[in-house]
Chains A and B, each alone.
Chain A
Amino acid sequence: MLPFKHQKGLILLGIFLALIFLPSIIGSQHLIHIFILAGLECIVVMGFIAQYHVRLLTFCAATFWGLGAYTSGFLSTKFGINFWFCLPLSAIITSFFALLIGLLAVRAGWVTFLMISVVIAEVFVEAIGHIGLLGGWDGMGRIPRPAIGSYVFLSKASYYYLTLGLATVCVLIFMGLYKSAIGKAWTAIGQSSDLAESVGVNIFKYRMIAYVTAGFTSGLSGSLYAHYFSYIAPTSFDIVRSLYVSINAVVGGLGFVISGPIIGSIIIRAVPEWLRITDKYQPIFEGLVIILCALFFRKGVMGVLSKYIPLRR
């Protein structure tokens, strides 16, 4: 039998392979669209969980997403910059914003941090709504689709692979971080910040790393979001969207830093579609899942699954 460590790798590999063949298994274009959304969202959720891992509870996860989307949309429509430059640029600009906000907010206690994040989420929407250059409340349209040479990513399936690629990159970034000494320091802070400090962990520094990394990956995801929809509006990135991000995280399992976001996003996005729950009943489904998680599955869906599959966390 394989040691547990390799088993976990195999399971992730299996999920990855399944996701590669997914578009050929499911014919429905709409379902592929749902999976693209889930993929983009799961990147943001990973950022949210990284912040939660160092006990930074944020209500502005979607704000970083929106920052990425608006940066990318602005650069490509106003300056005609190619998507492949917009993608890293929006990640860098979003992480720069995260750095600025973080320098002010991360030092504060967690309640203050939470309140600041709420303010940021609200201010972002209001600000974008009042800036005519960014399209105001009407939103920003005509964002071009990405292209390689003469090939344009127009079909859902092609875009699905683009999303999958980006999500894989983000998974690798986070896995690298969690496996390294940085991730150990994150875990230490999450478990007991006093003790972490007393073994020499610079809490502020490591919280900032988590915060800025979340900004970076959310910016990447936001950029792809903007070019996928080719239309973005400030209200797409409001505080309710941020709440949904945290819901995905809770449903997937807050203790499962990589698999939790993936499973959580897929469940919240895709399962209602599979079950053919109409939009009218979707909030009921979501509410039910959250209540179930809060009452019975405190460690999320992954917490339940890991009981049956011998996984090493």
Chain B
Amino acid sequence: MGILEIRKLSKHFGGLAAVDEVDLEINESEIRGIIGPNGAGKTTLFNVISGFLAPTKGSVIFKGKEITQLPVHARVERGIARTFQLTNLFMELTAFENVYIGYHKNYRQGLVSQFLHTRSARNEYKSCYQRTVEILQFMGLSSFQDMLAKNLPFGNQRILGVCIALATKPSLLMLDEPVAGMNPEETMMMVEVIRKIRNEGITILLVEHSMAAVMNLCERISVLDYGRKIAEGTPEEIKTDKKVIEAYLGSEEKNSYHA
């Protein structure tokens, strides 16, 4: 059984079905891509899985347990982390502090001992500090750690976003358009980083627009169109899938009609 299972998930906005009875199963430590034309419901699906939106119907099952009704922070507690499509960082804080905050859910000490700075709480702060250093090193941002997030170069801001998500020690990392708006070099950097994370045993689910990155990176791809899943398979299969080509380019009849 996969780490994440989605059964007959629907999300309606008024009369519009943004996500329509989608089934999805993601296996442990794979890199899964979700693609689809604009407005296919990718981001909505993403928000439903991470808990920012409540589904209209269907269920989300993570590690064998139903999490459909859980709030966001409880999902993070269970090991689902996400990044945002638009760069979303704690802009006024340094890169180091950004990642440090990401460690939040791993505190085991109670509020009182945190407040009183007991020995065990201080030890925890220390280990948190240590882990922050490690993550920044792992992701190659060490040299930027004292810069304010808002002053970082764009590519590094996006990577910092991934660092924050990583600090929560997730078992499933969800990336919302990780390479959107990046130049080819930055894209390569990000692709490398995502591979590295997967090699640590973390499952990755990503929504992406850039075909090159998706084909290069993902082991399996699911294609959404008008809220429905229309295809699923390896990049090669997807490339030649008739339905997918139709969804992206329009069918021949439609084309001739437009012409």
Contact = CB atoms under 8 A, between A and B. Distances in A.
Interface of A: 176-177, 179-182, 184-185, 187-188, 191-192, 194-203, 209
Given A195-B89, A209-B111, A187 B82 contact: no
B100 interface: yes
A201 B104 contact: yes
A310 B207 CA distance: 44
B91 A176 contact: no
Contacts of A179: 117
A192 B160 CA distance: 15
Contacts of B73: 197, 200-203
19 contacts: A180-B115, A181-B107, A181-B114, A181-B125, A187-B93, A187-B101, A191-B92, A192-B88, A194-B88, A195-B88, A195-B89, A197-B72, A199-B76, A199-B165, A199-B167, A200-B77, A200-B168, A202-B71, A203-B73
Given A199-B164, A209-B111, A180 B117 contact: yes
B2 interface: no
Contacts of A185: 101, 104
Nearest to A202: B73
B117 A199 contact: no
Interface string B95-131: 0000011101101010100111100010001000000
B127 to A, nearest CB: 12
A198 B165 contact: yes
A199 B88 CA distance: 12
A198 B89 CA distance: 11
Contacts of A209: 111
Contacts of A187: 90, 93, 101
Contacts of A180: 114-115, 117, 121
Interface of B: 50, 52, 71-73, 76-77, 81-82, 84, 88-93, 100-102, 104-105, 107, 109, 111, 114-117, 121, 125, 164-165, 167-168
Contacts of B109: 181
Given A198-B72, A202-B73, A184 B104 contact: yes
Contacts of A192: 88-91
A277 B144 CA distance: 50
Given A176-B115, A199-B165, A191 B104 contact: no
Given A199-B81, A199-B105, A200-B105, A191 B114 contact: no
A195 B120 CA distance: 27
Contacts of B93: 187, 191
A203 B71 CA distance: 11
A181 B104 contact: yes
A182 B115 contact: yes
Contacts of A195: 84, 88-90, 164
Contacts of A196: 101, 104
